[in-house]
Structure 1
Amino acid sequence: WGWLAFNCGSTFGISSGKWKLAAKTAVTTLLASMSGGIVGTFLSYVTQKGKLCTVFFVWEPYFLQSCYCSVLVFSASCPLVRPWEAVVIGAIGAFITIGTDVLLHKLKVDDPVSAVAVHGASGIWGLLAVGLFAADDHVENLTSGRNGLFHGGGFYMLGVQTLAVVCESAWSAGSTFLLLYVSMPLQITMGIRVTAEEELLGADIVEHNVQKSGTNSQMTFTSQAQNRNPNSTQTVSQQTQGLSRTTRDRIQGGWKSQVLTLSSLESLSRETEYSTFSKLHDTMSKIEREIPLPEYLAQVYPA
């Protein structure tokens, strides 16, 4: 598993007692990942009325994302904590990730890959956890002989880790703002953000025309991508096998007229494995009444 090599390999050797840190890191990393996965499975079962979601869709992170965030959170403290502490750190990281994702969804913040939840909120917890749970390793002296708050080391390490969070957040926010400010003319002239329609279809299809094996039907639609590059033909590949002519016509007609509703998406999801419509249906199913696509997009992406 990749993260074992990532964390264990960070000891940069197995001589002079480093193997002890590598072995401990392997155990604690696995425990953190398992605890995060258990939390994700539990929350999926509770919030989805008994449905166990092993993958995450739009703003619905469960098992896989919980496993991922828990090992990411734990990377900072993997050689410095006890096994039971690894379980606690990973579980809390999963709760934080899922909670942050739900909050961002309510605030209508566009974060389709959950970067803010996983690398931001959970990453902060991972850094602070070092100041709480870390214990001097007596092998590489990674903590300069200091212990975390819960091991009688006082608030020194927690303060240092908090300062690290502040500095990294300031650097990330400042550099990101600067880059976006500098790129503002590009947004005005050629555009650096896809439209809402293109976003739902996916950049792989709209911008890169990625084809999968078994593709046997296509549809063409007018988008701002064509306006940016009039010489290119934007083709939307259904990337499915065995689509009936009726289904293809309904998909094409739906996007052209922009009147896809919840009931039509339910019907389409039964006839095709096309992931875009499945994701769109999962999102729109949160709305308890039928609603035209333009009206729904206006709510999600207000002007």
Structure 2
Amino acid sequence: MDEDIRDKVDIRHDDIVGLNFIRDTGRHMFRKHCRQGLRSRIMEVLDAGDVRKEAEGEWVDGIRVFPRARPTWMLRIFTRRFASPADVLEEARMYSLVEACLGQGHIAASSEFIVDYIRDGRREMLLCGLQAFVEGEILDPWGFVYPGHLAELCRRMPAASDGDADVRVRRARKSAESLLGRLRDMVTTAGYIPDLSGIGNLILTPSGNIRLVDINNITKVAVDDVVPTDDKGYPVCDKSIEVMAILERELAGRPFDRNDPLYRLFLDPARMARVKEIEEKFYRDRQKQM
């Protein structure tokens, strides 16, 4: 019996091209991405010629170099089992909601598609996404531990025609203001918020734009005293709003208003203490499962 691709951890190129809905033309190679989500298997889609250059090298000015193959797309295979077509369509609709609220400038554009996954003679609905690859540095919201962190991120990226590090710092601050405005509109009008809290979910591009690349976990914002958790038991709503406050302070360069109704509720010290307990339990439970 073939192992279900949604359960498989060590996924290789042959596993992907062996799927019934993938046509292997030889033009592309699939490689497991270094970061994997809790809800999807993520594979880099690489040009086969670039992979050959990476392995065999090429001569540049008399020196043999081995350039790392750069993904053109990211293939996401969702691990969730769907009970009905309505369930899978609702899941896909949430990604459209994020795109509509945040705009193309703040997300990694993705095309979701539903396929018949055939395994051992059985057909199941499988949700996948083909997502644009976003180049840049991970913007870890929990990593702002000193004033020059943003400038260092911008200097770390290779110089480009988009300007020097100082220009990119200014663009990043402006991008943060734009993202925060769109996030607040999404919370107040649509009543949802994406997962901003995971390390690797936000990327700072070489041009200084901030983009959300993990759009798999969109949660309802409940304005009450109950701390909500996602299907994995993580308090993603509260932690994402905490990230909004961090982005206000560290990137937009302004202290967040504790009298703001959103922050007054979610950043209340007693509530944050409860959130911390839930978060610690989440990590303890995950550790037991590993």
What's the TM-score bracket when you normalise by the shorter of the two chains?
under 0.3
Q: Which has the larger radius of gyration?
A: 1
Task: Name the TM-score, length of structure 2 as normaliser.
Answer: 0.22
Task: Name the TM-score, length of structure 1 as normaliser.
Answer: 0.21
- Relative contact order, CA 8 A, sep 6+: which one is greater? 2
